[in-house]
């Protein structure tokens, strides 16, 4: 796609740009712009009006390459269309659970949206052991509604296929195909890991049964156009306050397996669980927070399943609703996919290119390796044993069992 008017904005140009857009700020407003510099792929500017109004907005502009690597990794600008379209759909399906989009500028590959500076990134919140009493309800509802209502369970098949075409996301899917399902399972140049983990990682590279299961999950990721998924739903893609939750950054959105989104949420809670193993917290505090995390995993699934079944029931005229037992079969497959994709996400965040601050913020490599070893042990078992799991409590019991097996409590 060629955007002939496209150029990368500076902070000053961003101010000039927003001033030309009617309805955002008053003509004489004094504006401050700051590029936040925390995106893997894009530029993210916050524009704030000086004075008492406190008004602010976010402008997210796609770069023609992956920012984290540089110009040697070219990327399509079309991802900004995918992101703004996905946000608008999600806002219709789950009002209030994503930032509001004010404007999408195709030419400049940018989206103007609600500023969430009152919220914090959930990953940061979990690292400091904050608790979010409404999070499970919000994210369980988000998952159920966005996944059910964009799938063949809710949409007329031909209309759904048009959506599949609209959300073809070649390059960002390729990033996931490579970084999640391929590179971590051999000695790829993109991998970067704690040298203390080398032996355990070599065992993974030699684990034929594990690689077979990862291949099945990869093939399902590539071919199972089940619903419009967020595609990168880790805890860094979620902004929270004690009362509110907003899901951000759906630039990886495409029609893929529902379990990939649910699995990413679960995996990132479990990665935080593992990271606390490596932190020098006192044992009681650590165990309490780890219990809290496992409880949220159970709660998320329970809310997800309840809402998903309610949507299924409310759609009585559909072909699928008329087939007895199909809902139970479908939901069990979702749970087992969730485990599989959660396992993949956990392993790639230890072995592959993109790590998580939960573990990376542990300075001492020995302590970090403690958490990383646990993450790899849990990740492997989630993939290998996913078809033996029938309920969400089987999953949390499996996590507790592996933790007790792997970790010597002080
Ligand atoms: C080069 S992009 C690396 C990672 O960042 C994104 O958030 C995705 O998780 C991707 O795998
Ligand atoms: Mg992102």
Across the range 388-392, mean pLDDT stands at 98
Across the range 81-93, mean pLDDT stands at 98
* 410 has a pLDDT exceeding 70: no
Span 293-346, pLDDT tens digits: 999 999 999 999 999 999 999 998 889 989 999 999 999 999 999 999 999 999
Across the range 206-219, mean pLDDT stands at 98
CA of residue 215 to ligand 1 center, whole Å: 20
Span 256-307, pLDDT tens digits: 999 999 999 999 999 999 999 988 678 999 999 999 999 999 999 999 999 9
The closest ligand to the CA of 69 turns out to be 1
Across the range 193-199, mean pLDDT stands at 98
Provide the pLDDT for residue 245.
98
The answer to whether the CB of 75 is under 6 A from ligand 1 is no
- Helix (H), strand (E), coil (C) string for the chain: CCCCCCCCCCHHHHHHHHHCCCCCCCCCCCEEEEECCCCCCEEEEEEEECCCCCCEEEEEEECCEECCCEEEEECCCCHHHHHHHHHHHHHHHCCCCCCCEEEEECCCCEEEEECCCCCEEHHHHHHCCCCCCCHHHHHHHHHHHHHHHCCCCCCCHHHHHHHHHHCCCHHHHHHHHHHHHHHHHCCCCCCCCCHHHHHHHHHHHCCHHHHHHHHHHHHHHHHCCCEEECCCCCHHHEEECCCCEEECCHHHCEEECHHHHHHHHHHHHHHHHHHHHHCCCCHHHHHHHHHHHHHHHHHHHHHHHHHHHHHHHHCCCCCHHHCCCHHHHHHHHHHHHHHHHHHHHHHHHHHCCCCCHHHHCCCCHHHHHHHHHHHHHHHHHHHHCHHHCCCHHHHHHHHHHHHHHHCCCC
CA of residue 232 to ligand 2 center, whole Å: 7
Mutate to test the pocket of ligand 1, among 39, 41, 121 (most ligand atoms within 8 A of CB): 41
CA of residue 177 to ligand 1 center, whole Å: 11
CA of residue 60 to ligand 2 center, whole Å: 11
CA of residue 183 to ligand 1 center, whole Å: 13
Take atom 11 of ligand 1 and give the residue whose Cα is closest: 176
Take atom 4 of ligand 1 and give the residue whose Cα is closest: 354
Is-above-0.85 flag for pTM?
yes
Task: Report which ligand 1 atom has the smallest distance to the Cα of 352.
Answer: 11
The answer to whether the CB of 175 is under 6 A from ligand 1 is yes
Task: Report which ligand 1 atom has the smallest distance to the Cα of 237.
Answer: 7
Take atom 2 of ligand 1 and give the residue whose Cα is closest: 40
Q: Which residue has the higher pLDDT, 52 or 102?
A: 102
Provide the pLDDT for residue 2.
55
Q: Which domains does the chain have, with CATH numbers?
A: 11-114 (3.30.200.20), 120-409 (3.90.1200.10)
CA of residue 231 to ligand 1 center, whole Å: 10
């Amino acid at each position: 796609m060629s955007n002939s008017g496209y150029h990368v904005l500076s902070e000053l140009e961003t101010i000039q740009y927003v001033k030309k857009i009617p309805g955002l700020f008053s003509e004489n407003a004094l504006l401050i712009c700051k590029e936040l510099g925390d995106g893997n792929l894009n530029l993210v500017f916050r524009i704030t009006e000086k004075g008492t109004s406190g008004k602010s907005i976010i402008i997210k502009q796609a770069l023609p390459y992956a920012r984290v690597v540089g110009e040697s990794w070219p990327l399509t600008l079309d991802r900004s269309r995918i992101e703004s379209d996905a946000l608008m759909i999600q806002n219709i399906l789950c009002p209030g659970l994503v930032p509001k989009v004010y404007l999408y500028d195709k030419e400049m590959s940018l989206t103007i949206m609600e500023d969430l500076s009152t919220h914090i990134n959930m990953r940061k919140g979990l690292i400091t052991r904050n608790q979010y009493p409404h999070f499970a309800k919000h994210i369980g509802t988000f998952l159920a509604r966005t996944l059910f209502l964009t799938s063949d369970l809710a949409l007329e098949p031909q209309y759904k296929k048009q959506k599949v075409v609209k959300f073809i996301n070649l390059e960002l899917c390729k990033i996931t195909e490579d970084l999640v399902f391929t590179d971590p399972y051999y000695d790829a140049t993109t991998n970067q890991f704690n040298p203390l983990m080398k032996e355990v990682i070599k065992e993974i590279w030699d684990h034929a049964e594990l690689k077979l299961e990862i291949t099945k999950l990869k093939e399902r990721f590539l071919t199972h156009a089940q619903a419009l998924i967020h595609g990168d739903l880790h805890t860094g893609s979620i902004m929270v306050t004690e009362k509110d939750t907003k899901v951000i950054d759906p630039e990886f959105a495409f029609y893929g397996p529902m379990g990939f989104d649910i699995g990413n949420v679960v995996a990132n809670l479990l990665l935080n669980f593992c990271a606390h193993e490596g932190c020098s917290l006192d044992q009681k505090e650590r165990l309490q927070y780890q219990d809290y995390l496992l409880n949220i995993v159970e709660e998320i699934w329970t809310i997800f399943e309840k809402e998903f079944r309610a949507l299924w029931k409310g759609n009585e005229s559909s072909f699928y609703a008329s087939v007895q037992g199909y809902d139970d079969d479908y939901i069990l497959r979702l749970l087992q996919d969730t485990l599989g994709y959660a396992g993949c996400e956990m392993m790639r965040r230890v072995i592959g290119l993109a790590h998580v601050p939960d573990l990376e913020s542990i300075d001492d490599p020995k302590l970090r390796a403690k958490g990383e070893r646990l993450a790899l042990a849990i990740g492997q078992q989630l993939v290998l044993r996913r078809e033996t799991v029938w309920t969400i409590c089987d999953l949390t019991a499996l996590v507790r069992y592996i933790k007790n097996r792997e970790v010597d409590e002080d």
